[in-house]
């Protein structure tokens, strides 16, 4: 049974007048991969540094691995900071062993583990190379291994994928999953949603120092109505009348968070296909759409039941470009016409967004919407 | 503490086990030996200076010749004294039943006379051979540095000074222009006019012609020789014969130095006392050198860790205080390595090669067993910590050496400020300058080290030390805050920002 190994209660961090972290509370269970998501400047790194007692919170309480200070449990924690570096003149194997020793591993064991890790990650041949001779990817691997050599219970990775090529990103994803399967807990911050979507058991979205969402991916998806994308050149008015259909939106443009570009313009110009997005009430059986289309003679060239991606969720909850944090603390996402109520954890649809953040080319929404 | 020691060991290894440092460690003694050898060679290869004296009075040339003979005798006897001091046991030497003129002492005119009477350098070697240690090099009689030559051919004693100058001029020129092709060129010529006797009353001056006017040593000797001759003439005019005049010249006061804090029989100042007196100055100088050399190491090292972003990973493994302490210990140890290696070699040499040399033994005794050494070490460490913290703090708030330069100027000024006062403290360890410096906490280590051997008032030392420790505690706390908070700051702060870093409680 999983236990809470990290909890924050009402944590604040101020730098002078700047409120970097605002009343943050969340918890992380053992043996889970916990995503720490947020745009740049959201307060992710400050929070991670507070977890590690590198900096102290202005107020609030942090419990980590049963202790109120990470200093006493440092040997159980591995930390890969966002800004990474190595001692240029130090050998790779010495670097890994050195950090293991700093976290309490005996000299011989530290060296043994360093060698084993280098072998496991295909860097055996570079064990005695100086760090300055390693490629960027290899150096990042060495940094990661330096956080693993003392076999930490809790691994905190700040933007671990940045700077890695796709192959190494994939390797790292596999490693993170493997560590979780071994019973370790992994907290990682990122603003690349695809990694978080593939890896996270639970995640937290932070924006402007405030928690916007904490939960599983499914819980986040449940904030949005189920959706279906169809493509056809025929009239689909009949589909709007089906009970349970909330909206039908003709897609045009690429700045909608639900967006897709116009597709299927026929070269002869005789038939023009359009993409439509259909949103339903929960528990709606989408087979009814297929059935109604068949009965009405609507020819479909696309029929795609899509889950809301984490990217869309993130943009709706924390997207800086299109979101306005309102006075009540809720976010209004103009482009998507969704606003997110962080207190009630509820997504609200708007017929039109605030004027100051309206898209330049708002052709795609108003005329085609029914609800 | 374990984390701090690990940091310290890494810092130490990084510098000391680098090729450059090991090379330095290897080269340093070789360099010192080579330098000593080179100095010896240079000393020996200094060209002999040949000169002529054209004396129209016919009285001064003989005096000048005697002056330079006397100079050479002093040179030989001084070299002999030095040889005896190094290669014999001074305490047994004092009890040796030999002519006292052969034993090391001040070289007076009377001693030169006695030395020559007793058999000169050959007599000295024969008399003292049994008191010298075995397997030592032979005494080398030093070469003459000045040779007075007879006037070159063609200079008629009856001619004028101007004629003599014209005739001698070609012999004084450099290289190929010199008239003496086969022998060494003349270095200088001294022309003494016929009325030189009345030079004080307005007679013509003597003329010094030389091909190297920057080297005034020979000119100085001429002046002293002529001064002596003129004074001798005056003495004669007052009715003193030459013997009486020489007797006046040999009347040189010899002062033995005593310490009032010791019993009369032990009060005379010995070599050990002199070493102990010099030790504070040496330690203070060493502290200066260490602060400057290690200061730059601390600075570059911290800047490197900050700029290559490894510092955050370190701070997740150890506390900022441990990191700071590790650097202080590790890099401090780097600075101490060369002197410790030198001291170890010195002690080893004193126990082996120089085991019979009393002076070397006394030096080792003074350095290792003097109770003041512990006092010096304490204040040395205090001084090191205070100044090292400044460099650490600057390193922690700088992304590059260029950033650090902004702060280094005032810091260097603070570090160097007591230097002019140091000489005053050394000369008068219990004077006003010493007291002022003692009560300025960042300079207390320097001042107390310089004063320690001179029995300063105990209350002043204890008071100033307590003040220094209290100040040092706050200073380390403030600098430590700058270090801890500055390490993770992205850009170097301004003065206001530094004050904020130093005074805020939480990072």
Task: Say whether both B489 and B349 belong to one domain.
Answer: yes
Q: What value does the mean pLDDT take over residues B350-355?
A: 70
Residues of B with Cβ-Cβ distance to A99 under 8 angstroms: 313, 317
CB contact under 8 A, B309 and A79: no
Cα gap A187→B445, rounded to integer Å: 50
* B208/B296 same-domain check: no
- Domain count along chain B: 2
Average pLDDT of chain A is 79
For residue range B226-266, what is the model confidence (pLDDT) as tens digits? 988 888 888 888 888 878 887 787 777 777 778 777 777 77
Contact A80 B313 (CB under 8 A): yes
Burial of B140 (0-12, 13-18, 19+ CB in 10 A): exposed
d(CA A97, CA A155): 17
- The residue segments making up the domain with residue B475 are 271-503
- Listing DSSP states for B157-216 in one string gives TTS-HHHHHHHHGGGGS-GGG-S-SSSPPP-EEEEE-TTGGGGGGT-PPPEEEES-TT--
Q: Higher model confidence: residue B53 or residue B174?
A: B53
Which of B305, B310, B481 to probe by mutation at the A interface, max A CB count within 10 Å?
B310
User: Is B316 close to A54, i.e. CB distance below 8 A?
Assistant: yes
- Identify all chain A residues contacting B491, using CB atoms and an 8 Å cutoff: none
The model's confidence at residue A258, banded by pLDDT at 50, 70 and 90, is very low
β partners of residue A29: A4
Q: Please check whether residue B30 lies inside any domain of the structure.
A: no
Pick the residue of A53, A81, A111, A146 with the most B CBs within 10 A to test the interface with B by mutation: A81
- How far apart are the C-alpha atoms of B218 and B146, rounded to whole Å? 8
pTM of the model: 0.68
| Residue of B14, B308, B313 lying closest to A99 (CB–CB) | B313
Instruction: Compute the distance between CA of residue B341 and CA of residue B349 in angstroms, rounded to an integer.
Output: 12
Whole-number Å distance between alpha carbons of B304 and A190: 27
Q: Is residue B173 domain-shared with residue B98, that is, in the same domain?
A: yes
pLDDT given for residue A344 in this prediction = 67
Q: How many CB atoms lie within 10 A of CB B213?
A: 10
Residue B1, domain member (yes or no): no
DSSP A1-43: ---EEEEEEEEEEEETTEEEEEEEEEEEETT-EEEEE--TTSS
Cβ distance of B314 and A74 shorter than 8 Å: no
| Contact yes or no for A74 and B316 at CB 8 A | yes
Looking at residue A210, what is its pLDDT?
A: 87
Last residue of a domain, one of B219, B249, B279: B249
Those residues with Cβ within 8 angstroms of residue B131's Cβ, 6 or more apart along the chain or in another chain: B88, B89, B92, B93, B96, B98
- Write down the pLDDT at residue B222: 92
Q: How far is CA B230 from the centre of its chain?
A: 37
| Average pLDDT taken over every residue of chain B | 81
Is B7 contained in some domain? no
* pLDDT tens-digit readout, A111-165: 999 999 898 888 888 888 888 888 888 888 888 889 988 889 999 998 888 877 8
- A354: phi then psi, degrees, rounded to nearest 5: -65, 140
B308 and A CB contact within 8 Å: yes
- Is residue B354 domain-shared with residue B244, that is, in the same domain? no
Q: Once rounded to an integer, what is the mean pLDDT over residues B182-203?
A: 78
Same domain, yes or no: B242 and B305:
no
Q: Is residue B320 part of a domain?
A: yes
pLDDT band at A323 (very low <50, low <70, confident <90, very high): very low
Shortest CA gap B500–chain A (Å): 10
| B3, closest residue in chain A (CA to CA) | A102
Cα–Cα nearest to A36, from A181, A191, A162: A191
Question: What part of B 6-25 touches A (C-beta under 8 Å)?
Answer: 6-7, 10, 14, 18
Q: Is residue B39 in a domain?
A: no
Looking at the fold, whether B305 and B436 belong to one and the same domain comes out as: yes
pLDDT tops 80 at residue A269: no
Residue B91: the pLDDT is 67
Strands B146-149 and B49-55: parallel
When scoring B19, B308, B316, B326 by the number of chain A Cβ atoms within 10 A, the one with the most, hence best to mutate, is B316
Across A300-334, b (16+ Cβ under 10 Å) vs e yields: beeeeeeebebebbbbbbbbbebbebeeeebbbbb
The answer to whether the Cβ–Cβ distance between B308 and A81 falls below 8 Å is no
Together in a domain, B347 and B417: yes
Mutate to test the interface with A, among B11, B20, B305, B317 (most CBs of A within 10 A): B317
Quick one: B156 and B283 in the same domain? no
Whether residues A56 and B308 touch (CB distance < 8 A) is answered with: no
* Cα-based distances in Å from A180 to A166, A174, A185, B218: 21, 10, 6, 89
**Looking at the predicted structure, is the pLDDT value of residue A255 above 60?**
no
CB A292 within 8 A of CB A238: yes
Q: Looking at the predicted structure, is the pLDDT value of residue B458 above 60?
A: yes
Q: What is the pLDDT of residues B377-407, one digit of tens each?
A: 888 888 888 888 888 888 888 888 888 888 8
B249, B281, B310 - which closes a domain:
B249
B418 burial type by CB count under 10 A (0-12 exposed, 13-18 middle, 19+ buried): buried
| Contact (CB<8Å) A89/B315 | no
Q: Choose among A56, A80, A102: nearest Cβ to B6.
A: A102
pLDDT, residue B90, reads: 65
| Nearest CB neighbour to A103, from listed B305, B317, B507 | B317
Residue at a domain's end among B249, B280, B298? B249
Q: Quick one: pLDDT at residue B266? A: 75
- Euclidean distance between CA atoms A66 and B245, whole angstroms: 98
Element (H, E) at B112: helix B109-117
Q: Do A81 and B488 touch (CB under 8 A)?
A: no
Question: Same domain, yes or no, for B292 and B245?
Answer: no
Same domain, B347 and B489: yes
Lowest mean pLDDT among A20-34, A210-224, B129-143, B481-495: B481-495
Per the DSSP assignment, residues forming a β-bridge with A231 are A275, A302
Distance in angstroms (rounded) separating the CA atoms of residues B266 and B274: 14
Question: CA of B297 to nearest chain A CA: how many angstroms apart?
Answer: 15
B506 touches chain A (CB under 8 A): yes
pLDDT 10s digits, A187-239: 988 878 888 888 888 999 888 888 888 888 888 888 878 888 898 888 888 88
Best-predicted range by mean pLDDT (A11-25, A256-270, B491-505): A11-25
Is B14 close to A77, i.e. CB distance below 8 A?
Answer: no
């Amino acid at each position: 049974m999983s236990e809470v190994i990290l909890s924050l209660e009402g944590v604040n961090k101020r730098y002078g007048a700047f409120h970097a972290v605002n009343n943050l509370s969340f918890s992380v269970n053992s043996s889970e991969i916990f995503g720490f998501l947020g745009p740049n400047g959201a307060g992710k790194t400050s929070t991670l540094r507070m977890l590690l007692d590198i900096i102290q919170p202005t107020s609030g309480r942090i419990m980590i691995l049963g202790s109120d200070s990470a200093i006493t449990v440092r040997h159980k924690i591995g930390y890969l900071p966002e800004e990474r570096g190595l001692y240029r003149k130090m050998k790779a194997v010495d670097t890994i062993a050195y950090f293991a020793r700093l976290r309490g591993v005996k000299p011989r064991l530290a060296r043994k583990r360093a060698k084993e890790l280098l072998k496991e990650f295909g860097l055996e041949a570079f064990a005695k190379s100086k760090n300055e001779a390693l490629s960027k990817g290899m150096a990042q691997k060495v940094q990661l291994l330096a956080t693993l050599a003392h076999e930490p219970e809790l691994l905190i990775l700040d933007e671990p994928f940045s700077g890695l090529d796709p192959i190494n990103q994939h390797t790292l994803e596999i490693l993170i999953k493997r560590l979780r399967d071994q019973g370790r807990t992994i907290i990682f911050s990122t603003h690349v949603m695809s990694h978080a979507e593939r890896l996270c058991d639970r995640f937290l979205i932070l924006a402007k120092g405030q928690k916007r969402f904490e939960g599983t991916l499914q819980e986040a998806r449940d904030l949005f109505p189920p959706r279906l994308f169809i493509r056809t050149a025929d009239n689909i008015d009949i589909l709007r009348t089906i009970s349970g259909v909330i909206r039908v939106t003709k897609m045009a443009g690429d700045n909608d968070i639900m967006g897709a570009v116009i597709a299927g313009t026929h070269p002869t110009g005789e038939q023009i296909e359009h993409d439509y997005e259909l949103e339903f009430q929960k528990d709606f059986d989408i087979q009814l759409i297929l059935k109604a289309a068949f009965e009405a003679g609507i020819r479909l060239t696309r029929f795609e039941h899509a889950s809301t991606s984490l990217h869309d969720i993130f943009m709706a909850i924390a997207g800086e470009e299109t979101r306005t944090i309102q006075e009540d603390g809720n976010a209004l996402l103009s482009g998507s016409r969704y606003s997110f109520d962080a207190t009630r954890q509820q997504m609200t649809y708007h017929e039109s967004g605030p004027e100051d953040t309206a898209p330049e080319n708002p052709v795609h929404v108003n005329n085609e919407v029914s609800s | 503490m374990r984390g701090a020691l690990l940091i310290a060991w890494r810092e130490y290894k990084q510098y000391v086990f680098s090729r450059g440092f090991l090379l330095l460690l290897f080269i340093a003694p070789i360099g010192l030996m080579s330098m000593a050898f080179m100095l010896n060679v240079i000393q020996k290869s200094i060209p002999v200076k040949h000169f002529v004296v054209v004396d129209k009075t016919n009285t001064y040339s003989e005096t000048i010749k005697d002056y330079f003979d006397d100079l050479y005798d002093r040179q030989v006897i001084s070299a002999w004294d030095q040889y005896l001091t190094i290669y014999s046991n001074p305490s047994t030497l004092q009890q040796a039943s030999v002519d006292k003129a052969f034993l090391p002492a001040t070289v007076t005119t009377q001693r030169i006379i006695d030395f020559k009477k007793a058999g000169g350098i050959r007599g000295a070697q024969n008399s003292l051979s049994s008191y010298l240690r075995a397997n030592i090099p032979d005494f080398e009689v030093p070469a003459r540095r000045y040779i007075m030559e007879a006037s070159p051919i063609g200079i008629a004693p009856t001619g004028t000074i101007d004629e003599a100058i014209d005739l001698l001029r070609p012999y004084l020129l450099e290289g190929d222009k010199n008239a003496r092709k086969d022998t060494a060129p003349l270095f200088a010529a001294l022309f003494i006019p016929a009325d030189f006797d009345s030079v004080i009353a307005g007679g013509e001056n003597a003329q010094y012609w030389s091909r190297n006017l920057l080297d005034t040593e020979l000119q100085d000797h001429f002046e002293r020789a002529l001064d002596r001759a003129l004074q001798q003439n005056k003495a004669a005019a007052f009715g003193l014969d030459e013997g009486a005049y020489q007797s006046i010249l040999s009347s040189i006061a010899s002062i033995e130095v005593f310490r009032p804090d010791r019993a009369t029989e032990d009060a005379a100042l010995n070599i050990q006392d002199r070493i102990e007196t010099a030790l504070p100055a040496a330690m203070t100088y060493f502290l200066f050198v260490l602060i400057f050399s290690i200061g730059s190491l601390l600075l570059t090292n911290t800047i490197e860790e900050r700029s290559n972003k490894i510092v955050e990973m370190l701070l997740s493994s150890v506390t900022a205080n441990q990191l700071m302490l590790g650097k202080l210990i590790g890099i401090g140890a780097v600075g101490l390595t060369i002197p410790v290696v030198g001291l170890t070699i010195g002690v080893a040499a004193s126990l082996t090669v120089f085991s019979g040399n009393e002076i070397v033994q006394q030096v080792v005794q003074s350095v290792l067993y003097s109770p003041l050494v512990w006092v010096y070490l304490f204040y040395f460490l205090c001084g090191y910590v205070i100044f090292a913290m400044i460099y650490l703090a600057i390193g922690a708030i700088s992304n590059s050496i260029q950033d650090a330069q902004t702060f280094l100027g005032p810091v260097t000024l603070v570090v160097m400020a007591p230097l002019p006062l140091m000489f005053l403290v050394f000369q008068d360890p219990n004077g006003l300058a010493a007291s002022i410096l003692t009560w300025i906490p960042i300079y207390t280590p320097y001042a107390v080290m310089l004063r320690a051997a001179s029995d300063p008032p105990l209350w002043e030392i204890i008071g100033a030390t307590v003040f220094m420790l209290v100040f040092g505690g706050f200073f380390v706390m403030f600098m430590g805050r700058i270090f801890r908070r500055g390490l993770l700051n992205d850009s170097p702060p301004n003065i206001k920002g530094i004050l904020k870093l130093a005074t805020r409680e939480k990072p």
